[in-house]
Amino acid sequence: MKLMFIIAGDEYAADISEKLKEHAFMATEVGSTGDFLQYGQTVLLLGVDEQECDRILTILDPEADWEGTEHRHPFHEEVSIFVTDVNDYVKVNA
């Protein structure tokens, strides 16, 4: 399993999230106000199988078809994507 962090400007987060939903990927959005990430950035978190990482990168490719989204050319700034290994996953019921 992999954990993907997609860091983008707030104005692009909704379009990215919608594009992922079109392909059955759900993300958790976290806003940023700290020093590590600039104010106005959103982090989308996705837990995915390893083989899905390349598919997600293809979906988010700036050359992909973004018709129907607010931004015809999706990103006018850098979007950072980090992919990390998930060594353990435990779900605890409270």
pLDDT in tens, 13-43: 888 998 899 999 999 999 877 666 667 889 9
- Tokens coding 31: 């806003």
Residue 91: band (very low, low, confident or very high) from pLDDT cuts 50, 70, 90: confident
Q: Give the bridge partners for 42, in sequence order.
A: 8, 31
CA 34, CA 39: separation in Å to the nearest integer?
A: 7
Question: What is the CATH T-level fold of the domain 2-85, as seen in this structure?
Answer: Alpha-Beta Plaits (3.30.70)
**Model pTM?**
0.77
